[in-house]
Structure formats: structure tokens, C-alpha cells
Structure 1
Amino acid sequence: MRYRIRHETRFTYATPVRFARCNLRLKPILWSGQTLVDHDLSVEPNGELTLARADASLANVTRLVIPDAVTRLKIVSTAHVDVERGVPFPSPDDPDVATVARLARASRDVSANGPTNYLFASPMVELSPEIADWCAQELDPGRSIMDAAIGLAQRIQREFDYDPDATHTATRPAEAFAHRHGVCQDFAQVMIAGLRAHGIPAAYASGYLRTIPPPGEARLVGADATHAWVLVWCGPQRGWEGVDPTNGIWMAGDHIVIAIGRDYSEIAPIDGVFLGTGAQTMTVSVDVAPEEELALGG
């Protein structure tokens, strides 16, 4: 399936901003099951775009500098991505939770996608005893890692309320967990905290869901915005599998990975600084649709 992605971000400043510098993580990465066909970034008014090196995450980072005073800024990212990824099926050969934890501790793979990088606390994900205890019901040491991963995701989907007004991008997992509400970022980071507390490597995936579902299927929560879910390391043979606690499903053909890190702070789609004295407002719109549907729609 080839998807067309359009991600538009608009900033409006109350007073002229004399200088702005942003990190843009909007270009999809190369990941299992997906191939980037093309990508384009446009900025109004014109800014200086340069490629930057990602440090602690799997991300394509572009540095944007606006050297002149502005009161508005529009950033548009467009891409075409081919996705061929089915729903993963459990296998009798899948290791149990205890075995995965043991193998993760023994791993010497310190590459960007090695399990060692995703075992411990990170800037936004502390290892909470309360979250660990709550997750223990699904993460029984003798349970298959695949069953445990989807079981925990579905429990979060059942017991947490999706409420876009309840949290913000700086909300910590412990707060979202205490109130049992939040958005995809919160649900992903709660799940990550629980998995890591039990020795299971877990990464934060940022990306998109298709805007319009196939006929007869329910629309997934998180479409029309940047979405977030979890990658769980399931041992050296199976590797990383994605699971979406907002919707209680596996990452499959409707998910497009943009960046992967230890938590949201490492791979926010846009972050940076500006020099100014007034407030700013930001609006984001995302549209993800299969090319064939766009062609049929004219």
C-alpha cells in the first residue's frame, strides 16, 4: 500500500519573533515493512534547512533556522511511503517474558536499535513501582512475550480514557496513570514504563495512522494527528514488534513509523527555540491516505 502523507504545522506569534531554530523530525525512517518513496519539506516564510545528525534516536532530523523577524510560520511535510506489513502472529517458538528479560540483559548490541538502549529510565519515563505492579498481571514471567505485549496494550485500551484535554506533551507517565486518562503519548509511555520495569526493552514510536479506514472497519483513534505507540523487543529471533495501546492492536499496515526513541522528548516532530516576548499558538493538521483512494476521489 502506498500512502500519501501531508503534515502541516502553523505557528502564530503575538509579537514578531526575531530568530527561530527548530529540529524537524518529519521524514519517515527506514523500518521493517515500510519504504520511503519521496519526501519534501516547505517553509513559509523561507528558512534555512540543513540536515542534522540524530543523536539518541532513530530519526531523520532537519534543522530549520528562521533568521528574520516573523509573526507566522508554516511548515509542510509531504511524503509517499510504501507499507507492506501484516499483523504479527504468535509462534510456539516465542520466548516467555523471563527469557526476553534475560536475553536483553545479556545483549551486547549497543546500536541505535539494540535492546540495551531501551531497558532503563529515560528523560520522560521514570520506572514507577505503581505502574510496575499494575502491569505485573499481564507480564507474568512464564507468559509468551507476544501474548503479554498485546494483553497489556489491550488492558490499557480498556481501562484508560482517551481525553485530549487531560494532559499535555510534558505530562509524565505516573500522572497519566494515576488518573487513567490521556492521549496516545501518555498510553505509550505508561506501557513503556511498565515493560522496562519488568526488564523488557520498550521503545517509543512516533508516526501516523491512515486517516480513512477500509470499508466496514472502525476508524482508529489517533488519525488526523501524529500518533504514538510502543515497540517491544521480543528476543533476537523475532526482534521488535509494534503494539498500539491506544487502540489495543498490533502495528500493521495502517501504521507508518516516522521516528523511534526512548520517549517523546527525543523524537518530538518539532521542537526548538525562538527569541521573542509574546505568546505563540500552534495548529497541526495531518492527512494520511492510500494513493489509490486519492486517485478514485479525483
Structure 2
Amino acid sequence: MRYRVRHRNRYQYGQPVSLCHSHARLLPRDTLNQQVLSARLTILPVIEEVHERQDLFGNRVSQFSIDELHAELNVSAESEVEVRPTRVDLENDTVWDDGLEIPLKTRLYCRPSLYVPTGNADIRRFACGFFKAGRGLLESINALNTLIFHEFVYDQNFSDVETPVGLVLSEKRGVCQDFAHLMLATLRSLGIACRYVSGYLETDPPPGQPKLMDADASHAWVSVFVPGTGWVDFDPTNGLLPSERHVTLAWGRDYGDVVPLKGLMTGVSQHALEVFVDVTSLD
């Protein structure tokens, strides 16, 4: 499937800003099943230079500065990507045990991070209900993915980025970001390497299929390292394994590593942010 993705962030300031330094992660990356055909960033006020680099995780980072007085900042990304279906055979499983070998470069995704701390006893007990000696690793992960979908309530008014994963577990509600963080915390409590994936969902579902939550918005899901197989994606918000309807933007240890736009500014204390996302199928 080919998609056109438009993602615009608009900041309106309470008073004019004289200087800002920003980092944007709004240009998608290539993956094993995704090819970026084109991608461009448009910034208003117009600036002369945008420097692009890759971060620690291989994400595309666009850096820019504006050193003129402005009351509004618009950063828009328009990309075309081709996403191929992924085929994961859940029957071709690896028996789980707490001694599974994790490659050195992957161990970064086993460690606690800003929004996914480890050491929560409730989360550890929650995890032990899925992962038992002799049970398949993919089977256990998929059971966790399915339970979050069926038993947790999607509630846009419940949380923000600072909401602790322990509260998400106890209240059984949140949004895609919360469910991804909870799933990461659950897996990492048992030493399983996993990463946070940010991206998008196809806006219009195929005929006969239900509309997925978070359409026309940024989305988040989880990718888990399975020894002998590699990285396998799971979407706990929708209870499925992502395939050609999920467009990957970036990944990291948690949301803090993939914030779409962040930076420093001078001359303002308050601002309002509006986000506009549109995903259109080109097939």
C-alpha cells in the first residue's frame, strides 16, 4: 500500500518569540517493510537552513533555528511511503524463559527509560500472569496485547504524557501512548527487549473492516525482539499485529525519544499547540 501522510504542528504564542531552536522527528524512516518514496518539511516563518541527522535509534531528525520575531510557528511534513504486508507466523514460536539471549546492541531496549521505569511490583505481577516457563514467547506477548485491547478503556480525557504506567494499569484506561508504555513496562520487567514505535494509521479502513481508533492522528505501538525471528510489532490499542495499514515514523525507548517537535524558545511563557494529521491511501 502507498500512502500520503500530512502532519502539521502549529504553535501559537501568547507573545512574540525572538528565538527558537527546534528538533523535529516528522520525516518517516525506511524499515524492512516500508520504503519512503519522498518526504519534505515546510517551516513558517521561512528559514534558510534545515540540518538533518540520524539519532541514536536511526530516526531522522531535522534541526532548525528561527532568530526573528514571530508569534506563530508552523512545521509541516508531507511524505509518501510504500508499506508492504508483514507476515508473522505465531506458530513458529520460541519457548520463553528468563535466560533468553539478547544481542548487545539490543539490550538498550531492556533498560528503564523516562516514561517506562522498572521495579513496579504490580506490573511485575501483571507480567507473570502471561509469561510462564515453557510457554511460547510470541504466544505470551500476543496474549498481553489482546488483553489490553479487550479489558482497557480508550479514554482521551484520562491521561497526559506524564501519567505513570502504574496508574494506567490500576485504572485500566488511557490512549495508545499509555497502552504502549504499559506494554513496554510489562515486558521489560521480565528482561524482554522492546521499543516504542510512533507512526500513523490508514485513515479509511478497507470495506467491511471497522474504523480503527487514532485514525487521523499520530499513533503508537510496540515492537518486541524475539530471538531467532527479530523484531515483531504489536498494537495493544487495536489488539492486532501491525501490517500494511501502519506507517512507521520513528522508534525509541519510549515517547520521550520520538517527540515529533521539541526545542527551546525565548520571549514566551505560554503557547497553544494544534496538530493536524491526514493519511490518504494512494492505491
Q: What TM-score does the superposition give when structure 2 sets the normalisation length?
A: 0.95
1:54 aligns with 2:39: no
> Structure 2 residue aligned with 1:255, among 246, 261, 267?
246
Secondary structure at 2:132 match in 1: coil
Gaps of 5+ in 1: 293-298
Q: Which letter maps to 1:98? A: D
Equivalences for residues 250-289 of structure 1 within 5 A? 250-289=241-280
Q: Is the 8 A contact 1:25 1:269 kept in 2?
A: yes
- Residue 84 of structure 1 deviates from its aligned partner by 0.5
Q: Which residue of 1 aligns with 2:234?
A: 243
Q: Which letter maps to 2:261? A: I
Deviation larger for 67-76 or 187-196: 67-76
Q: Which letter maps to 2:41? A: L
- Residue 87 of structure 1 deviates from its aligned partner by 4.3
Q: What TM-score does the superposition give when structure 1 sets the normalisation length?
A: 0.90
- Residue 158 of structure 1 deviates from its aligned partner by 1.5
Write the distance in 1 (CA, Å) between the matches of 2:51 and 2:96.
43
Write the distance in 1 (CA, Å) between the matches of 2:266 and 2:163.
25
Q: Which letter maps to 2:164? A: R
Q: Is the 8 A contact 1:211 1:289 kept in 2?
A: yes
1:186 aligns with 2:187: no
Per-residue CA shift, 1:62-103, capped at 9, x if unaligned? 0121111111111110000000023422134x212217x521
1:211 aligns with 2:203: yes
RMSD: 1.4
Secondary structure at 2:140 match in 1: helix
Quote the sequence identity (%).
31
1:73 aligns with 2:64: no
Secondary structure at 2:200 match in 1: strand
Write the distance in 1 (CA, Å) between the matches of 2:95 and 2:26.
35
Gaps of 5+ in 2: none
Runs of 4+ in 1 over 4 A off after TM superposition: none
Q: Which residue of 2 aligns with 1:24?
A: 24
Aligned length: 281
- Residue 278 of structure 1 deviates from its aligned partner by 3.6
Q: Which letter maps to 1:261? A: G
Deviation larger for 268-277 or 77-86: 268-277
> Structure 2 residue aligned with 1:102, among 91, 100, 124?
100
> Structure 2 residue aligned with 1:150, among 142, 145, 149?
142
